[in-house]
């Protein structure tokens, strides 16, 4: 049986039409699931018994299992076990503008970025839509507060699980679902060009972030194997087209790696690469792990990089550091459990 939390409003409408029922029952079900947060179909007091019987026959409401929660200042990291025993992470961050959650989209990742803990353990499978939705629901339940912002930047490459990710967004964005505004949802991709082109055609108001991390193809080839398939010389023109077509500002994520990509020459090259694109650069202090040899750039070096971009008229921010005590790197808590440490 399918998990009900993986069904979009449109899919439930079709389900009820196929049953010979009115499609408005999809709205009723969404209200019970996401507004009233019931745990059993039998609790739907305004839905007739024959419909409840059909739901019980065709769907389950099985939650994920929370294996561990690590807490630091303004951050909580959750480790979930899925029904097949696989594990993924989600990270809740408290900001002055609300609660933001970073969700995983895959069990492991095949992108193989050299600095990334998530990709060290290869992709086992895509997450199903319901497994992404339940990350939000279960964290909200634990937190007893609303989540207002969602970032698909945890374990996995979201555009390598495109259809399930789009269904996930449909559910959390729907006014009778979790009602999270499209402009409060961000997809982060390392640059899967065909899927960026597909996403462009959808004309969604969802934010797009590009994991860049290098200002030229030679360095990016060393750090991110995907660049050999989709190099910057092909990616940048597609991103310019994306901005022109959608009128949406891009974010470029840039992890600061000591002595690798953090010199003034890199900042100047980055400014040249991005000039004329409606975007901003998010400089990310690196989260070091015991398995990977890269180190975090010094605060002074990050500020110098920031100042160079500013002088070159590039919009730039420095991401606030979260979770130094909770295995902050994406995939770090999962690998800790997977490898039995």
Strand residues in 42-112 grouped as ranges (E): 59-60, 65-72, 75-81, 87-95, 98-103, 106-107
Catalytic residue among 13, 89, 131, 288: 89
- Burial zone of 29 (CB within 10 Å; 0-12 exposed, 13-18 middle, 19+ buried): buried
330 is catalytic: yes
Q: Strands 125-126 and 2-3: what pairing?
A: unpaired
Q: How far apart are CA 156 and CA 330, in angstroms?
A: 9
Catalytic residue among 113, 116, 279, 330: 330
Q: Are 52 and 38 in contact, with CB atoms under 8 Å apart?
A: no
Which two structure tokens, joined as six digits, stand for 297?
């750039």
Q: How far apart are CA 99 and CA 146, in angstroms?
A: 7
Strand order in the sheet with 87-95: 65-72, 75-81, 87-95, 98-103, 149-152, 185-189, 207-211, 250-256, 279-285, 316-318
Helix (H) or strand (E) holding 189: strand 185-189
Q: How far apart are CA 51 and CA 59, in angstroms?
A: 12
109 is catalytic: no
Q: Are 124 and 84 in contact, with CB atoms under 8 Å apart?
A: no
Nearest CA-CA partner of 137 in 49, 215, 62, 26? 62
Q: How far apart are CA 335 and CA 341, in angstroms?
A: 9
**Residues with a known catalytic role:** 89, 330
């Amino acid at each position: 049986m399918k998990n009900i939390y993986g069904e979009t409003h449109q899919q439930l409408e079709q389900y009820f039409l196929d049953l010979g029922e009115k499609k408005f029952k999809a709205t009723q079900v969404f209200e019970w699931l996401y507004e009233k947060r019931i745990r059993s179909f039998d609790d739907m007091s305004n839905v007739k018994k024959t419909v409840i019987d059909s739901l019980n026959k065709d769907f389950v409401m099985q939650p994920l299992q929370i294996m561990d929660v690590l807490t630091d200042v303004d951050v909580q990291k959750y480790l979930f076990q899925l029904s097949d025993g696989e594990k993924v992470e989600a990270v809740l961050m408290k900001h002055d503008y609300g609660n933001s959650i970073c969700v995983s989209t895959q069990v492991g990742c095949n992108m193989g970025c050299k600095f990334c803990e998530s990709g060290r353990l290869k992709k086992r499978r895509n997450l199903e839509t319901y497994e992404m939705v339940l990350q939000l629901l279960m964290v909200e339940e634990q937190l007893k507060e609303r989540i207002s912002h969602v970032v698909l930047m945890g374990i996995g490459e979201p555009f390598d699980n495109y259809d399930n990710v789009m269904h996930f967004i449909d559910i959390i964005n729907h006014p009778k679902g979790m009602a999270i505004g499209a402009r409060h949802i961000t997809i982060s991709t390392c640059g899967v060009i065909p899927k960026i082109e597909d996403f462009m055609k959808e004309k969604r108001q969802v934010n797009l972030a590009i994991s860049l991390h290098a200002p030229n193809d030679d360095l990016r080839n060393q750090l991110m194997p995907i660049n050999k398939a989709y190099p910057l010389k092909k990616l940048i023109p597609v991103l310019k087209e994306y901005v022109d077509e959608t009128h949406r500002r891009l974010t470029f994520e840039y992890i600061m790696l000591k002595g690798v990509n953090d010199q003034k020459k890199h900042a100047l090259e980055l400014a040249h690469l991005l000039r004329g694109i409606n975007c901003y650069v998010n400089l990310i202090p690196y989260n070091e792990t015991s398995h990977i040899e890269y180190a975090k750039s010094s605060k002074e070096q990050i500020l110098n990089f920031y100042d160079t971009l500013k002088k070159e008229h590039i919009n730039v921010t420095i991401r606030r550091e979260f979770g130094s005590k909770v295995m902050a790197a994406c995939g770090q808590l999962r690998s800790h459990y997977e490898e039995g440490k």
